[in-house]
């Protein structure tokens, strides 16, 4: 049984334990191990929660199971590394290099570059019409017939997807790259139940039974405070907050490696907005998912972002960590935005 000398070391142990639990879930998927992920999550969470409770009560003796789970998850991670997997979450999962995008021949985005690592949250901030949603659509492959990438490259896990064929885009959509629309409720068909629509989208990628789908959906719904009854409702029966959570469920059901979130809180009241943002953080902590979020709200960016990209009229004004942007802004436009905030 692990005996930590003080509460500080206990907290470090828990942080390491949480990290490897989150990472091991992705390792299972990368290794192609056929296990029931719901059982894995229950198994790991039970012992990890016991350790957290022990730390909160200032008991230094950790649950024996916690030590076993940490060892188990590290072992799975090591096997994944040996099979060609990536070490920790520091590798870049998305790279956008000097991208320029036009609609109807008119350039909307010009020469924008950034990268996103595993488990990292990048927030793109700018006024309406700055091109931030256009960048998200280019990454997701949904620019539409009038939109086109004129220059630059987009890489997902070292695979160029700038002008990838439709077959590759369909494979990536949902399974590797999840997309949450600004008005998630409107993205659903109004005359079909939420659960039916999400299950149908899953069937395009996975041969899951309805029971397996419901089992996996319930795990995510618990994490995002979405009632199970939402699956049996029509889109118009959901509140704004519940509609956004349904959109998050649809985007996360296949456990993608990156989420693209287009103004996911813009139409919500402040309290619901705060709750939804917290749920994004929970998803990152639980699944290790990377997030690229678009917003015009600097308060949201300050709360959730690891890195921030400032856009103006389709051009990159400033790019850096949240601490750098908020504490040491370099550009006058960034300073102006912060003063208004």
Nearest residue to 265 via CA among 289, 290, 291: 291
164 confidence band (pLDDT: 50, 70, 90): confident
Give the model confidence (pLDDT) of 238-293 as tens digits: 998 899 999 999 999 999 999 999 998 887 888 888 888 998 998 898 888 999 99
Judge whether residue 35 has pLDDT over 50: no
pLDDT at residue 152 in the model: 96
For residue 30, what pLDDT is reported? 46
- The pLDDT, as a whole number, for residue 31 is 44
Residues 6+ apart with CB under 8 A from 172: 141, 156, 161, 164
In angstroms, the CA 139 to CA 94 distance is: 9
Distance CA 157, CA 94 (A): 6
Whole-prediction pTM value?
A: 0.73
pLDDT of residue 223: 85
Percent of the residues in the chain that have a pLDDT greater than 90, as a whole number: 51
Question: pLDDT category, 182, cuts 50, 70, 90?
Answer: confident
User: What whole-number distance in Å separates Cα of residue 309 and Cα of residue 301?
Assistant: 10
Q: Which pLDDT value is given to residue 270?
A: 84
- Per DSSP, 233 falls in state S
pLDDT higher than threshold 60 for residue 22? no
What's 135-147 look like in SS3? HHHHHHCCCCCCE
- For residues 289 and 119, give the distance between their C-alpha atoms in angstroms, rounded to a whole number: 5
Instruction: Check whether 79 has a pLDDT greater than 80.
Output: no
Q: How many residues does the chain have?
A: 341
Structure confidence at residue 272 (pLDDT): 83
Reported as a single tens digit per residue, the pLDDT across 108-129 is 999 999 999 999 999 999 998 8
User: Two tokens at 228?
Assistant: 């199970």
Convert 27-65 to b/e letters by CB count within 10 Å (16 or more is b).
bbebbeeeeebeebbeebeebbebbbebbeeeeeebbeb
Position 45 confidence tier, pLDDT thresholds 50, 70, 90:
low
Q: State the pLDDT at residue 29.
A: 45
In the chain the first and final C-alpha atoms are separated, in Å, by: 50
Chain-wide mean pLDDT for the chain?
Answer: 81
pLDDT at 12: 59
Strands 106-117 and 92-103 turn out to be antiparallel
Q: Tell me which of 36-40, 44-48, 286-290, 333-337 is least confident.
A: 36-40
* Residue 71 scores a pLDDT above 90: no
Q: What is the pLDDT of residue 86?
A: 46
How does residue 95 score in pLDDT terms, banded at 50, 70 and 90?
very high
Under DSSP, is residue 160 helix (H, G, I), strand (E, B) or coil?
strand
Mean pLDDT computed over 59-74: 53
**For the ranges 153-167, 192-206, 224-238, which has the lowest average pLDDT?**
153-167
Would you place residue 75 in the very low, low, confident or very high pLDDT band (cuts 50, 70, 90)?
A: low
Tokens read off for 117: 């690592």
Predicted confidence at residue 172, as pLDDT, reads 87
**Exposed e or buried b for every residue in 83-106, given b needs 16+ CB within 10 A?**
eebbeebeebbbbbbebbbbeeee
- What pLDDT is recorded for position 122? 97
Closest CA to 261 of 93, 102, 96, 135: 135
* Percent of the chain whose predicted confidence (pLDDT) is above 70: 73
| pLDDT higher than threshold 70 for residue 148 | yes
């Amino acid at each position: 049984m692990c005996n930590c000398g003080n509460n500080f070391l206990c907290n470090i142990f828990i942080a390491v334990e949480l990290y490897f639990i989150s990472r091991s879930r992705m390792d299972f998927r990368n290794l192609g191990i056929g296990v029931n992920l719901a059982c894995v999550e229950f198994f790991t969470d039970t012992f990890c929660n016991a350790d957290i409770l022990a730390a909160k009560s200032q008991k230094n003796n950790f649950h024996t199971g916690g030590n076993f789970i940490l060892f188990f998850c590290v072992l799975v991670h090591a096997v994944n590394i040996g099979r060609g997997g990536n070490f920790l979450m520091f590798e870049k999962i998305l790279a956008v290099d000097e991208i320029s995008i036009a609609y109807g021949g008119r350039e909307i985005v010009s020469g924008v570059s950034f990268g996103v690592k595993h488990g990292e949250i990048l927030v793109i901030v700018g006024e309406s019409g700055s091109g931030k949603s256009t960048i998200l659509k280019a990454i997701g492959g949904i620019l539409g017939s009038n939109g086109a990438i004129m220059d630059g490259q987009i890489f997902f896990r070292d695979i160029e997807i700038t002008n990838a064929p439709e077959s590759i885009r369909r494979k990536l959509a949902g399974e590797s790259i999840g997309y949450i629309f600004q008005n998630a409720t409107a993205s659903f068909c109004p005359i079909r139940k939420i659960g039916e629509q999400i299950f149908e989208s899953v069937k395009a990628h996975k041969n899951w039974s309805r029971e397996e789908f419901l089992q996996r959906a319930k795990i995510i719904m618990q994490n995002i405070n979405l009632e199970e009854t939402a699956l049996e409702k029509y889109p118009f029966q959901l509140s704004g907050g519940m509609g956004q959570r349904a959109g998050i469920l649809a985007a996360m059901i296949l456990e993608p490696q990156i989420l693209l979130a287009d103004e996911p809180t813009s139409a919500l009241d402040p309290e619901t907005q705060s709750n939804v943002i917290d749920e994004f953080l929970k998803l990152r902590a639980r699944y290790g998912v990377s997030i690229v979020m678009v917003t015009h709200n600097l308060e949201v960016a300050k709360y959730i972002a690891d890195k921030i990209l400032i856009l103006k009229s389709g051009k990159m004004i400033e790019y850096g960590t949240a601490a750098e942007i908020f504490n040491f802004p370099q550009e006058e436009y960034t300073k102006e935005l912060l003063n208004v905030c």
